[in-house]
A and B are shown apart, each in its own frame.
Chain A
């Protein structure tokens, strides 16, 4: 069945397309920038070789295929996933100021990774720990929320997330005190601020299935997620099993966030800022908010990561840059006032 699009819908469609083009342009530009410059011709040469199944030729092509391209692709994936889960959390919690960190996902995943570094485990296990830590935190928060009845369930979830997140933060601090200050502590600090510097060839592919698994239900349930944003009672009166749907959407958004943290550490603010800008551009309906968040999030993260690796001679942790951009934006949102904040 076809639907008649209103002028606002048509405009949103063009804006999403425009955002996709902008993100692609940023990604293309990011491929050329770095300690070892890569020309546009080299990019097309590599692409041709990739299609015909040949090995990379010169040094430029090798840098591109083994380091630069995997990092840019991972950046697109990470930014898109963080923005999408942020959009889902914001819509679900009926609050445009929440972010993927709200249920303690990031703190829990951070704790898992820090514990892995403390035990001097190989990178694969650190990522696995991060993933498990993120999911475990949300499970604990959900358990708290279901065992406390007779209060606003959304409020209990958010407050539970704050409390469990604070606990995880305390545990991280403890491990930092106990960690080897010369070897482990710098790794922990760098990891907690997020970085794409350790990403190699197939890392992005490794988290792709988990991200896709989280994203597909969000796409399918787009209209129902709008209805959930009216609140538990109204959504139930409109005929939806609100509790079960909310649990499913939280699980999906959490899976995406935890996979991303496992790959690149804790990168804050993206999941707060990007869905917000997306909502200003295309409105709150999830069928438009989600694609816009994906498109903007990918481009934004690649842009910030390119700055992170080219601003100074040593690499800046990306979490520092996203905070420098995000914090003033947040204050601006508060300044604009609640009524206009969406």
Chain B
């Protein structure tokens, strides 16, 4: 076994006791890489992530964290290696952004403790790394969707885990906020933060990831380097629409639906 294998799934079956979502899933993530799970809505990305995080029990196969079966680990042990940024950040109460980020520090302190001075410094630093230091004292329920998403990522940073798992970090954000959140994630990735994220938008995979897995109907149909895996036919297959791939003048690669090749379906 390679020492740098951080997270792996072997013949994993995901879903619930009454409903299977996917099976025979195999994945391998190394420390420090940015890995993107790409697939249409409803293909099982969120269920897979929750199973990888141990939040849902595997219906078959195993998830291994640094080689140990995740079912044998405590929540605190998992949280030291994996941080989670859920899709919808919603707080029932008007905590400040700093208080939310401080929650990422809870496993690093004894059971009966309050956040220490050091925790506050770490929380502030995490907010500043994402360019939202000025929001520290603001009430999160009054922040925009994009700002809330960045607060969630800052909390994951403060947790100081080896890998941050982001479930559709740009879901329900508008064009500008999507771009801003993606740019911050790119910036973190460039600093060597390990990231596993899901998205339904191929452009996000092009923008962020070094490796990618394509998912369709609860199965992983291809995985590997972005350049090898993200081929026109494969993308057309998982989304069931004709697509065009193109290189922009700045070297950025994009994917768009090929409207000229599409007939209205009725």
> Once bound together, how far apart are the Cα atoms of A201 and B188, in whole Å?
65
Residues of A within 8 A of B78 (CB): 239
Tell me if B247 counts as interface (CB < 8 A to partner A). Answer: no
Per-residue interface assignment for chain B, residues 153 to 174, with 1 indicating a CB less than 8 Å from any chain A CB and 0 otherwise: 0010001000000000000000
Residues of B within 8 A of A94 (CB): 92-93
Chain A residues 1 to 39 lying within 8 A of chain B, measured CB to CB, are 1-4, 6-8
Partner of B93, one of A3, A224, A279: A279
> Once bound together, how far apart are the Cα atoms of A95 and B90, in whole Å?
12
Q: Are A239 and B92 in contact (CB under 8 A)?
A: no
> Once bound together, how far apart are the Cα atoms of A239 and B78, in whole Å?
7
> Once bound together, how far apart are the Cα atoms of A322 and B84, in whole Å?
43
Q: Looking across the interface, which residue of chain A has its beta carbon closest to that of B119?
A: A3
Tell me if A287 counts as interface (CB < 8 A to partner B). Answer: yes
Known: A8-B137, A227-B106. A237 touches B83 (CB 8 A): yes
Instruction: Name 23 interchain pairs, CB-CB below 8 A, sorted by A.
Output: A1-B117, A1-B118, A3-B114, A3-B115, A6-B98, A96-B93, A220-B112, A223-B106, A223-B109, A223-B114, A227-B103, A230-B100, A237-B79, A238-B104, A238-B107, A239-B75, A239-B106, A240-B106, A242-B75, A283-B94, A285-B95, A339-B141, A342-B141
Tell me if B33 counts as interface (CB < 8 A to partner A). Answer: no
Q: Are A283 and B107 in contact (CB under 8 A)?
A: no
Tell me if B55 counts as interface (CB < 8 A to partner A). Answer: yes
Partner of A95, one of B79, B92, B118: B92
Partner of A1, one of B16, B98, B116, B137: B116
> Once bound together, how far apart are the Cα atoms of A223 and B116, in whole Å?
11
Q: Are A239 and B120 in contact (CB under 8 A)?
A: no
Interface range on chain B (Cβ under 8 Å from partner):
35 or more
Interface range on chain A (Cβ under 8 Å from partner):
35 or more
Shortest beta-carbon distance from B26 to chain A in Å: 23
Residues of A within 8 A of B80 (CB): 239
Residues of B within 8 A of A242 (CB): 75
Chain B residues 69 to 104 lying within 8 A of chain A, measured CB to CB, are 74-76, 78-80, 82-84, 86, 91-96, 98-100, 103-104
> Once bound together, how far apart are the Cα atoms of A342 and B142, in whole Å?
12
Residues of B within 8 A of A227 (CB): 103, 106
Shortest beta-carbon distance from B103 to chain A in Å: 5
Shortest beta-carbon distance from A2 to chain B in Å: 6
Known: A233-B86, A239-B78. A6 touches B137 (CB 8 A): yes
Residues of B within 8 A of A224 (CB): 106, 111
> Once bound together, how far apart are the Cα atoms of A283 and B113, in whole Å?
19
Residues of A within 8 A of B115 (CB): 3, 223
Residues of A within 8 A of B82 (CB): 237
Known: A236-B55, A239-B79. A283 touches B96 (CB 8 A): yes
> Once bound together, how far apart are the Cα atoms of A283 and B190, in whole Å?
37
Tell me if A116 counts as interface (CB < 8 A to partner B). Answer: no
Tell me if B18 counts as interface (CB < 8 A to partner A). Answer: yes
Tell me if B53 counts as interface (CB < 8 A to partner A). Answer: yes
Chain B residues 9 to 62 lying within 8 A of chain A, measured CB to CB, are 16-18, 50, 53, 55
Q: Are A4 and B120 in contact (CB under 8 A)?
A: yes
Q: Are A284 and B94 in contact (CB under 8 A)?
A: yes
> Once bound together, how far apart are the Cα atoms of A7 and B82, in whole Å?
33
Residues of A within 8 A of B109 (CB): 223
Shortest beta-carbon distance from A210 to chain B in Å: 21
Partner of B95, one of A7, A221, A240, A284: A284
Residues of A within 8 A of B107 (CB): 238-240
Q: Looking across the interface, which residue of chain B has its beta carbon closest to that of A244?
A: B75
Q: Are B137 and A237 in contact (CB under 8 A)?
A: no
Q: Are B118 and A230 in contact (CB under 8 A)?
A: no
Partner of A221, one of B111, B120, B137: B111
Q: Looking across the interface, which residue of chain A has its beta carbon closest to that of B80?
A: A239
